[in-house]
Structure 1
Amino acid sequence: MTYENALEEYLEEDENGKHKLIYAYFGLSVYKSQCLEETFSNMLLLNRICNKSLNSLNDIDNEILNSSKKTMGNLIREVKIEYKFTDKLEEDLSKILTKRNYLVHKYFKENIQRFFTELGQKEMLSFFSEFIDESTRIDNELEIYYQEYKNKLSLTDDVIENIINKMKEEEILREKQE
């Protein structure tokens, strides 16, 4: 689905716009990998809160800070210890980690020549779109594993939506003050 949208956008752009679109989809890919990392961090945090290994707000703050310093690979290893995944999900996590590391550390170094042709540009969009779709699917699948903890802590969709709305309001207010 993402690739079809990207291709539709691509065909409407001039040469400069096509390059910008490729960078935009690269950026969205990196963003989706960060969303996955945040999901792993949240899974560990919720698990540790519910299992009483974090006993104070200070412990929680420290856990959040420490988690932000961990690589995606380390987060996946820790999550696998705390949660029992299907073999398929474990395989998917391994694959998405490999793709994420390639994307972030080597993709442009090994594929910059693709910018010179329409075929190459479409291949880049295809790679990024596939990564976006896979990351989104995995992120959605992971929610099943930590939903029980969300329920125990009364983190309903409404509560989360209210938190997000409050963040939006604070940012809008900050902008108005500038």
Structure 2
Amino acid sequence: MDSVELRKDVYAHFGAAMYYAQCLEQSIIIAIMFIDHFPKAIKKYTSQNLWENDFDRFMDNISSKTMGRLINSLKAVDFPIDKVEVQLKDALDKRNFLAHHYFFERAIEITTDAGCIKMVDELIDIQTFFSSLETEINQVTDAISLKYGFTKEVQDSMMKEMMGEYRQTR
């Protein structure tokens, strides 16, 4: 593989690492939604319209938070965080490093074939780390979401509906 192709691999794996970081952020948001937002929203539920407006406000608010603030929000709700607290701190550090310093810190490595190969390996490790942590958080959230009827069948149905809507816009 030539140097240009190796650099393309680095960029692709960097993009994948950031993708997995964002998946982890969304998993944290979903955990907070089921642990904190839903119990409060259900108590106030009086109509579908009010439910949707309240949900939209919640999502707008939480989606604007940085990963660090999301982690702090997760700590503030009743999420069994002790099992993943150290990993969440590490995830925040990795995500911030990727977003703010990665290519500056790897400016020399990306100019060599050996450096690119090393970077790809590093980025694959980071992807795996984010994905594994997301899976751990999702396992806790999945158990909680069942209380609200959010079964695998409901998830599949929602996905099918979203894919249908997406196809209609194409």
Q: Smaller-chain TM-score range?
A: 0.7 to 0.9
2:164 corresponds to which residue? Answer: 169
Unpaired stretches in structure 2, ≥5 consecutive residues: 45-50
2:101 corresponds to which residue? Answer: 106
Cα distance in 2 between the residues matched to 1:49 and 1:152? 14
Q: How do 1:88-107 and structure 2 match up within 5 A? A: 88-107=83-102
1:153 corresponds to which residue? Answer: 148
Deviations 1:30-52 (A, max 9, x none): 01111111111111111124422
Unpaired stretches in structure 1, ≥5 consecutive residues: 1-12
1:22 corresponds to which residue? Answer: 10
Task: Give the aligned length.
Answer: 162
Runs of 4+ in 1 over 6 A off after TM superposition: none
Deviations 1:115-174 (A, max 9, x none): 121221011112211110001110111123222321011111222122222222222221
Query: What TM-score, normalized to structure 2?
Result: 0.88
1:4 corresponds to which residue? Answer: none
1:85 to 75, 81, 85: 81
2:19 to 24, 31, 40: 31
Q: CA RMSD in A?
A: 1.6
Q: Is the 8 Å Cα contact of residues 25 and 129 (structure 1) preserved in structure 2?
A: yes
Amino acid at match of 1:65: D
Q: How do 1:41-52 and structure 2 match up within 5 A? A: 41-52=29-40
* Structure ranking higher on relative contact order (CA contacts 8 Å, 6+ apart): 2
Query: What TM-score, normalized to structure 1?
Result: 0.84
SS at match of 2:7: helix
Q: CA deviation at 1:53?
A: 4.6
